[in-house]
Amino acid sequence: MPKSFELPDVSGAVLGVLGGTGDLGRGLAARFAAAGQQVLLGSRDRERAVAAVDTLPLGDKEKVRGLDNIECARSADVVLVAVPWEGHAALLEECREALDGKVVIDCVNPLGFDERGAFALPVPEGSACLQAQQLLPGSRVVGAFHHVSAVVLLDPEVQSLELDVMVVGDDREATDTVQALASRLPGVRGIYAGRLRSSGQVEALTANLISVNRRHRAHAGIRVTGL
Amino acid sequence: MPKSFELPDVSGAVLGVLGGTGDLGRGLAARFAAAGQQVLLGSRDRERAVAAVDTLPLGDKEKVRGLDNIECARSADVVLVAVPWEGHAALLEECREALDGKVVIDCVNPLGFDERGAFALPVPEGSACLQAQQLLPGSRVVGAFHHVSAVVLLDPEVQSLELDVMVVGDDREATDTVQALASRLPGVRGIYAGRLRSSGQVEALTANLISVNRRHRAHAGIRVTGL
């Protein structure tokens, strides 16, 4: 990508992962620790967060600390939200004050499942990201990491992820920060892909990738071509 | 991709392109003609369709014939819908009988544009594809080719397109046919990506790709990784 798109140095940023005991949260925590980032892994229950750190299949565990969600939100510089959709609104309301002024990365996919597979759930606010921005008016919400497979993240055999992370948001400094963070993972490019109003389809596309996975027994991701 | 996903031979299928005088329609007609397919290029006005054939920047023009939309729909085996969103419903209603029993490939993106760029328009039926299936109950509607850039298609310097076409639909034989057609274009894989209920986000994602294009002065496409 051209020189004008140089991204900030985020190697010193402390990354918090809310809902860090789930597969996606653990996978992202492990990958960022492996990339040299300081990571705080948050859970409703501090004990469970501490225990989850020991289960990380890769990354330097010294780089990861388990905390309860609110302490995690308070102590991190940039905060990833990786809870199931069902717990999304309640968690954000609970952490509102602790997240004030921070870059909040929402990677939650509002999906339902039936015998035909996954499908996008309607969200009154338009998307998980838009719900987050509405619940956290003092935070800078950015959508990212929707299409990364937890299975791939947690597989220590996978050295390079070989996919792009679509980054959506309304605040340029915040999207630059998240692009830079994503790009720290081997084989990943963080690519700006529009404003929050265009976050719904990025989240919903995960249903399509799950259809690909079902047909091909794969863990599909996305690359943006032509850059 | 594994052997069980072998696709049908569609080299003999006559492909119709409704709205074939627009950039996307001309681009697809030219690329399919270059790939050896017989193509019927349809327009509201037969004269304009015939004239458009002469403007194709690549592909054997002997393979392409200009017709009015209804004659195009009637004479083709598989029909691509490449009209602007504004004309989508009216065109399909007009061609309903001629499209009966056929595989109809909808590649229309319901997008609006303002000073901030492109955004997905709400569609009462859920998506252009779902609207098409509702208007054409006797046809087998498949969504595809949403993310291909007309500029790239029409550039004779581009030999290989280097992107994937996400194919969505409820009829396996129809989606197999469209995957096979897409895969005839050099550098393209047609990939099954879910049912029609998951077509809205595929269409809307084009707004995100337009954001990528604006930031990078690019013509972005999509590859599905992990297959």
Domain ranges of chain A: 10-216
CB neighbourhood size of B220 (10 A): 23
> What pLDDT is stored for residue B6 in this prediction?
87
Task: Identify which of B220, B221, B225 has the shortest CB distance to residue A220.
Answer: B225
Residue A146 has pLDDT above 70, yes or no: yes
**pLDDT per position as a tens digit, A41-72:** 999 999 999 999 999 999 999 999 999 999 99
CB neighbourhood size of A40 (10 A): 27
> What pLDDT is stored for residue A1 in this prediction?
52
Interfacial B residues in 8-47 facing A (CB < 8 Å): none
* Greatest C-alpha distance within chain B: 48
Q: What is the DSSP letter of B198?
A: G
**pLDDT per position as a tens digit, B19-30:** 999 999 999 999
User: Residue B1 — pLDDT band, cuts 50, 70, 90?
Assistant: low
Collapse the DSSP code of A15 into the 3-class scheme (helix H, G, I; strand E, B; otherwise coil) and give the result. strand
In chain B, whose CA is at the least distance from the CA of A190? B212
> What pLDDT is stored for residue A6 in this prediction?
87
User: Residue B151 — pLDDT band, cuts 50, 70, 90?
Assistant: very high
Say what the alpha-carbon torsion angle B187, B189, B190, B195 is, to the nearest 10 degrees.
-130
CB contact under 8 A, A2 and B191: no
**Rg, chain A, Cα only:** 16
CATH number of B10-216: 3.20.20.80, 1.10.10.10, 3.30.1330.60, 3.40.50.720? 3.40.50.720
Q: Average pLDDT for residues B13-36, to the nearest whole number?
A: 97
E runs forming strands in A69-220: 78-81, 103-106, 111-114, 117-120, 140-143, 163-169, 188-192
Collapse the DSSP code of B154 into the 3-class scheme (helix H, G, I; strand E, B; otherwise coil) and give the result. coil
In chain B, whose CA is at the least distance from the CA of A207? B198
Task: Identify which of A197, A208, A226 has the shortest CB distance to residue B202.
Answer: A208
Interfacial B residues in 82-141 facing A (CB < 8 Å): 116-120
CB contact under 8 A, A198 and B204: yes
In chain B, whose CA is at the least distance from the CA of A225? B221
Q: Average pLDDT for residues A16-26, to the nearest whole number?
A: 96
Give this complex's ipTM.
0.96
CB contact under 8 A, A225 and B223: yes
Nearest to B165 by CA among B96, B121, B223, B218: B223
The DSSP bridge partners found for residue B18 are B81
> Side by side, which strands form the sheet with A188-192?
A64-68, A38-43, A14-18, A78-81, A103-106, A140-143, A163-169, A188-192
Side chain identity, residue A25: G
What average pLDDT does chain B have? Answer: 96
CB contact under 8 A, B120 and A162: no
CB contact under 8 A, A195 and B117: yes
Residue B2 has pLDDT above 90, yes or no: no
In chain A, whose CA is at the least distance from the CA of B197? A119
CB contact under 8 A, A211 and B194: yes
Q: Average pLDDT for residues B107-118, to the nearest whole number?
A: 97
DSSP string covering B97-140: TTTTTSEEEE----EEEETTEEEEPP-TTSSHHHHHHHH-TTSE
Q: What is the DSSP letter of A18?
A: E
> How many residues would you count in chain A?
227
Distance CA A129, CA A147 (A): 14
Nearest to A106 by CA among A168, A54, A63: A168
Residue A3 has pLDDT above 70, yes or no: no
Q: Average pLDDT for residues A190-199, to the nearest whole number?
A: 98
Residue A4 has pLDDT above 70, yes or no: no
CB contact under 8 A, A225 and B224: no
Instruction: Please tell me the distance in Å from B157's CA to the nearest CA on chain A.
Output: 14
In chain B, whose CA is at the least distance from the CA of A209? B193
CB contact under 8 A, A168 and B198: no
Residue A164 has pLDDT above 70, yes or no: yes
Distance CA A98, CA A59 (A): 27
Chain B positions in Cβ-Cβ contact with residue A149 (cut-off 8 Å): 226
CB contact under 8 A, B204 and A208: no
Instruction: Please tell me the distance in Å from B69's CA to the nearest CA on chain A.
Output: 32
If you search the block for the tokens 């943006």, which residue do you land on? A224
> Side by side, which strands form the sheet with B103-106?
B64-68, B38-43, B14-18, B78-81, B103-106, B140-143, B163-169, B188-192
Interfacial A residues in 139-168 facing B (CB < 8 Å): 149, 152, 162-163, 166, 168
CB contact under 8 A, B208 and A120: no
Distance CA B51, CA B54 (A): 6
Beta A78-81 vs A103-106: how paired, if at all? parallel
> What pLDDT is stored for residue A2 in this prediction?
46
Q: Are B222 and A222 in contact (CB under 8 A)?
A: yes
What average pLDDT does chain A have? Answer: 96
Distance CA B210, CA B193 (A): 21
Chain B positions in Cβ-Cβ contact with residue A6 (cut-off 8 Å): none
* Greatest C-alpha distance within chain A: 48
**pLDDT per position as a tens digit, B117-131:** 999 999 999 999 999
Distance CA B11, CA B71 (A): 21
